[in-house]
Amino acid sequence: MTQGPIGLPPELPSLKPRVPPPPPPPPPAGSTVPKIPAIRMEPLGEEGFMIPTPTRPEARSLEELVLEAKRLGASDIHLGVGEPPRFRVRGRMLYSEYVPTTMATFYRWWQEVLPVENLQLYERTKELDTAIMYPGMARLRVNLFFTILGPAAVLRLINLEIPSLEELSLPDVLKTISEAQKGLVLITGPTGSGKSTTLAAMIRYINENFAKHIISIEDPIEYVHTSIRSLVRQREVGAHTLEFEAALRASLREDPDVILIGEMRDRITVDTALKAAQTGHLVFGTLHTNSAVSTIERLLNIYTPSEQNTMRTQIAESLVAVVAQSLVRTSDRKRRAVHEIMINTDAARDYIKNNQVDELDQLIPQCKFDGMQTMNQALFQLVQEGITDEETTLEASPRAHELKQLFRGKMDNTRMI
């Protein structure tokens, strides 16, 4: 394999068919798998690291790759036929020293952990969402798919221990939001922004402090909760229910106090979530939006123009809060969640009802007493506390020019959006 220019991945292998080599023989009885040697990473400016040309043999097992990902502190593992395994660390993709994965090795890895029925479904539909667990080490959310080179997969690492709100340094107002008796709570942000972890921490807070019945409908289950003060029942689409919508409708007849539905996928999901919120349940959901305003607009745009006036009133009456989340790199080589938080106060409710959603951008920075904050206010606070630097926050800011003015003392943070 030839190496590309500095900072670029090696050239893709030829697409000519080839006979895969036989899988390596199992280790002798009583022997142990050799320890994984440390990866040599060469710095490549401020954009991350480049690992030298692949030289190591293929990983003996999928578990070996998971162990390495844990050691690196990776959030994701990327696998694919014809490509070396790669790891995402602190939001940046790293090359690895492994040689490109063969077809035989790829399927051998998945035969270790998945039943044959799942692999047959993957071959038939060309997609598979599932989760696997290595007891005592990690749980992984898995997506298998096909590319021009052949089979591929992405594995998201999920800690077995559910972190608390304090361990994640999340705002105290999330406790207040979690204590709501009914209504709709939306955690939003792009893929990989930590929404599932924040939701899990909020469910843990309820579970530890209140006697509730919590039902989750997930595809797949990520964090596994154990009932403490609350009774927690988790259902996975495909394993415990055939259809997401059917399970969501059925949950209303299962005496829940709290319903976790994950992504607000479509009109049916939104309708059922609003119905549940209006009939005395606390409902948690997610959307791939970046702010409170875009979240409410996304919900409204699910409906036809003639329906939007009615739905605007329903959303205004049902909503508890919108928490828009992002992740930023910190000075200690980790990542921290930052949030825009909109609480549905009387003033916010009136803006939504009166079709003045854009006015929320002006309301949020003025309502810190209620627990609201803009993303720029949260980013500015991280810099003030020495947790990260100005350059990093400017990259993450939705309105970088306003944040820059604040750093220069040209803007009051109560006016900053």
The rounded distance, in Å, linking the Cα atoms of 219 and 234 is: 11
CA angle 328, 194, 130 (to 5 degrees): 140
Report the chain (417 residues): mean pLDDT per 10 consecutive residues: 38 40 52 42 43 73 93 94 93 88 95 93 94 90 95 93 95 97 96 92 98 94 93 91 90 95 88 93 95 95 94 96 95 91 97 95 94 95 94 92 85 59
Last residue of some domain: 158, 182, 216? 158
Q: Per the domain annotation, does 86 fall within a domain?
A: yes
pLDDT value, residue 21: 46
One domain for residues 154 and 229: no
Taking Cα atoms as reference points, which of 297, 296, 295, 259 lies closest to residue 279? 259
Quote the number of domains for the chain: 2
Helix locations, 38-99, DSSP H: 62-72
**Unique residue bearing structure tokens 């940046």:** 92
pLDDT value, residue 43: 42
One domain for residues 230 and 260: yes
The rounded distance, in Å, linking the Cα atoms of 367 and 159 is: 35
Q: Per the domain annotation, does 6 fall within a domain?
A: no
DSSP track, 83-142: EEEEEEETTEEE--SBPPBPHHHHHHHHHHHS-HHHHHHHHHHSEEEEEEEETTTEEEEE
Is the CB of residue 377 less than 8 Å from the CB of residue 385? no
pLDDT value, residue 159: 85
One domain for residues 198 and 303: yes
One domain for residues 190 and 252: yes
Tokens of 276: 């549940």
One domain for residues 196 and 300: yes
First-last CA distance in the chain: 50
Tokens of 286: 């997610």
Last residue of some domain: 93, 128, 158? 158
pLDDT value, residue 311: 95
pLDDT value, residue 30: 52
Torsion over CA: 342, 346, 349, 350 (sign): negative
Helix locations, 302-374, DSSP H: 308-318, 346-353, 360-363
For residue 368, give the CATH number of its domain.
3.40.50.300
pLDDT value, residue 285: 95
pLDDT value, residue 413: 62
For residue 92, give the CATH number of its domain.
3.30.450.90
The rounded distance, in Å, linking the Cα atoms of 351 and 361 is: 11
Q: Per the domain annotation, does 165 fall within a domain?
A: no
Last residue of some domain: 373, 389, 412? 373
The rounded distance, in Å, linking the Cα atoms of 2 and 52 is: 12
One domain for residues 73 and 127: yes
Which residue segment(s) compose the domain that 94 sits in? 42-158
Taking Cα atoms as reference points, which of 286, 289, 288, 293 lies closest to residue 417? 293
pLDDT value, residue 6: 35
pTM assigned to the model:
0.78
One domain for residues 123 and 225: no
